[in-house]
Structure 1
Amino acid sequence: MTLALAIHGGCGTLPKAEMTEAEWAQARADLAAALRAGWAILTKGGSAVDAVEAAVRAMEDSPHFNAGHGAAFNTDGEHELDASIMDGATLAAGAICGAKRIRNPVSAAKALMLRGDPLLLAGRAADDFAEHEGVDTVENEYFSTERRRKNLASMKIREIVGTAAEASEAEKHGTVGAVACDRQGHLAAATSTGGYTNKPVGRVGDSPIIGAGTYARDGRCAVSGTGKGEYFIRYCVGHEIASLIAYKGLSLEAATQAVMAELSEHEIGAGLVAVGADGTVVAPFNTDGMYRGWVTEDGLMHVATHGDVEMAGQA
C-alpha cells in the first residue's frame, strides 16, 4: 500500500505580519517535526493509529498551535482540552473533552480507545482516567502562553465593544490533527484542540466528536477538521465526506470540495486534511491560511502556513 501522512495545525493562521520570520520558521519546523514523528512509525511498518498519535503529540507539545501547550483560554482564564482518535480498520475510537490536566490529550484518547468502553470521557473523569493509565498529567498553567493571554484579552475587549463576530479565525480558533494510511492499507485520524479563545466554560466542539471533527474508515477515508466546531458537528463533516465517497462514488478530492463548498456558502471558516483508501492526500481550506503538511511517497516533506508550500527535506 501507499504510505500516507498529512497534518494540520489549524486554519485561519495569523497574518504574516503578526509574527516574525523566525517565529514562522519555527512553526514550520514544528510541523516538519510532527511529520517526522508520524512517518518514522509508518516506514517501520507501524500502524496508522500510532502514526497519527505521534504526529499530534508533537504539535500538542509546540506553543505554536492551539492544542496542549499553547491551548486557548476559556472565559474563566483556564484551559479545557478536547481530543479524539479513530482506527479505520475496526472503527474503534476514543475521545476526551473538557480535560484540564492531561499533557497530551491525544494519548489519553488512544488509551481510552484501547480500553474499548466507554468511548468518550469528560472533565475530571478524563483527567482521572489519564492519571490512572499513566498518561502524563500537569498543572493547568502548563498549557498557557503569552500569545494566548493576549488573544484572551483581545476577545474580552471585542466582547465588551460588540465586535466579537468580527474577530479573525486566528484570534478565535485553532486545532491540530493528523491522518494516515499504513502498509496494511489501514486508515486512522486524530484531532486535538483547546477550543476557541474566550469560549464558555464547559463548551465542547467537534474535535472529540467522532464523525464530525474526526473520522476514519478503511476503504473510504480518514479526516481531521479545523474551524468553527459547532458547524462541523451540524454537518457531520468527517462522516459526510466518507459517505459521499461510499454512496456517490466521489473521489476524495471531489467529496472534500463538496463539503467545503457547503461550509463556505454559510461563510464558515474551515479546513481539513484527509487521506483516501489509495493514499491520496488533500488539505483544503477557505481561510487566509492553514498550518499544514504532508509527506509524499518518496519521503519528502511539504509544509505550509499560507498559500506557498515549501519543501522541508526528507522525513
Structure 2
Amino acid sequence: MENFSIVVHGGAGEDSEFIHLNESAIKTGLEDAVNVGQEKLKQGGSAMDAVENAVRLLENNPLFNSGRGSVLNNEGEVEMDASIMDGKNNGAGAVALVRNVKNPISLARHIMENTPHVFLAGQGAFKIAKESGLELEVDSYFITQHQVDRYIKSRKKDDVDNFIKKRVHGTVGAVALDKAGNLAAATSTGGTTNCLSGRIGDSCIIGAGCYANNSTCAVSGTGDGELLITNVIAYSISTYMEFKNCTVQEACDYVIHQRNKNINGDIGVIAVDAKGELGICFNSERMHRAWKTNDEKLTVKIYK
C-alpha cells in the first residue's frame, strides 16, 4: 500500500484556563484539519494541497492563533505570518506582517507558484493577495473577544518589555507525505500578544518554523518564535537526519531535548519523513496536535 501521512499542530506553550474551557472544541478543530488533509491524500492529492487545506481550516477557526483568532500586537492590531514548502523541489513561499488576508497560507503558496520571489511582507504581500483574488476580510473579522481580553490583561499586568519576555504565543501548522512520496510543510501564526509592531516570528521563515525536503523530512514548528529562528529548528532536524541516518523521531528528540536543552523557552515540532513515519516533540506544558497515517485511527492530544 502507498503510504500517506498527515500531522497538524495548534501551538505549544503554557497551559491555560482558556484551553481547559475549550478543550473539546480545540480537539474537534484539530481533528477536522487532519480529516480535510487526509481526505486529499487518500484521493491521491498532493502533500502541498493537504497541508494548505489543513492549515486553512485552522486559520478559519477562532480558537487558534492564526487567521481569524490572531493575537493583537502592542498597537492593538493583527499582523499575520505564514509559510509553505514543497519537499519535491524545495519550492517555498512566505508572507509576513499581513493584514486583511483571510488565509495567509494560501497567499504564501500563491507567491511560491506565481512570482519569482519566496518572501513578501506588508503592503507588497497584500497587493498580491488583492490582485490575485484571494479572499479578504475587514479588520474586525480577525479579532476575537478572547484575544482582546488577553491584550487588555497584558497591558494592565506588565509593561511592554516584561510582557515580550513572557511571550504569550501560538501557531498552527501541518506536515504531510502523499502517495507519490512527496513531503510538504505549512505554518501560520497571528504572532505574539502585545509584541512590538513589525515583529516577525519563525512561522514565515524557511528553516526555522517550516521546512520540507523529500530526502529527509517535513517540519512545522511552534513555540517561542525567536528561539526557533536563532536555533534554526526545522532545518536542524532535517540536517540531523541526513548526517546521522536516524529516524525522524530521534532527530526531533535530539534537536529539542539535547541540542537545545538549556534554552529558556518553549519549542515544539511536528514532522514526517519519506516513509510516512512521524516525529512529534515539545518541551512545553502542552502542544495541540493530531495525526493520521494511511487508514489508521486518528489521534488527537493536547498534553504529554
1:271, 1:284 within 8 Å by CA — same for their partners in 2? yes
Partner of 2:287: 290
Q: Which residues of 2 match residues 112-261 of structure 1 at below 5 A?
A: 112-160=111-159, 164=163, 167=166, 172-261=168-257
> What are the ranges of 5 or more consecutive residues in structure 2 without an aligned counterpart?
none
Shift, 1:287, TM fit? 1.0
Name the CA distance, whole Å, in 2 between partners of 1:208 and 1:81: 9
Q: Deviations over 1:162-202 (max 9, x none)?
A: 853774x6xx1000000000001100000000110001111
Deviates more, 1:85-94 or 1:149-158: 149-158
1:96, 1:208 within 8 Å by CA — same for their partners in 2? yes
Local SS of the residue matching 1:284: strand
Deviates more, 1:61-70 or 1:281-290: 281-290
Deviates more, 1:107-116 or 1:82-91: 107-116
Counterpart amino acid of residue 6 in structure 2 = L
Shift, 1:246, TM fit? 0.9
| TM-score where L is the length of structure 1 | 0.92
Distance 1:8 1:20, change over 3 A: closer
Partner of 2:57: 58
Q: How many residues align?
A: 302
Name the CA distance, whole Å, in 1 between partners of 2:31 and 2:115: 32
Question: What is the aligned-residue RMSD (CA, Å)?
Answer: 1.6
Distance 1:162 1:115, change over 3 A: closer
Name the CA distance, whole Å, in 1 between partners of 2:261 and 2:302: 20
Counterpart amino acid of residue 262 in structure 2 = E
1:13, 1:291 within 8 Å by CA — same for their partners in 2? no
Local SS of the residue matching 1:245: helix
Q: Deviations over 1:149-174 (max 9, x none)?
A: 1111122223239853774x6xx100
Distance 1:163 1:80, change over 3 A: closer
Name the CA distance, whole Å, in 2 between partners of 1:25 and 1:236: 33
Name the CA distance, whole Å, in 1 between partners of 2:196 and 2:230: 19
Q: 2:275 aligns with which of 258, 273, 278?
A: 278
Counterpart amino acid of residue 293 in structure 1 = A
2:108 is the counterpart of 1:72: no
> What are the ranges of 5 or more consecutive residues in structure 1 without an aligned counterpart?
308-315
Counterpart amino acid of residue 111 in structure 1 = H
Report percent identity of matched pairs. 38
Name the CA distance, whole Å, in 2 between partners of 1:2 and 1:229: 32
Local SS of the residue matching 1:46: coil
Partner of 1:311: none
2:299 is the counterpart of 1:306: no
Partner of 1:310: none
2:91 is the counterpart of 1:95: no
Name the CA distance, whole Å, in 2 between partners of 1:210 and 1:91: 10
Local SS of the residue matching 1:54: helix
Shift, 1:212, TM fit? 0.7
Local SS of the residue matching 1:36: helix
Shift, 1:138, TM fit? 1.0
Deviates more, 1:131-140 or 1:81-90: 131-140
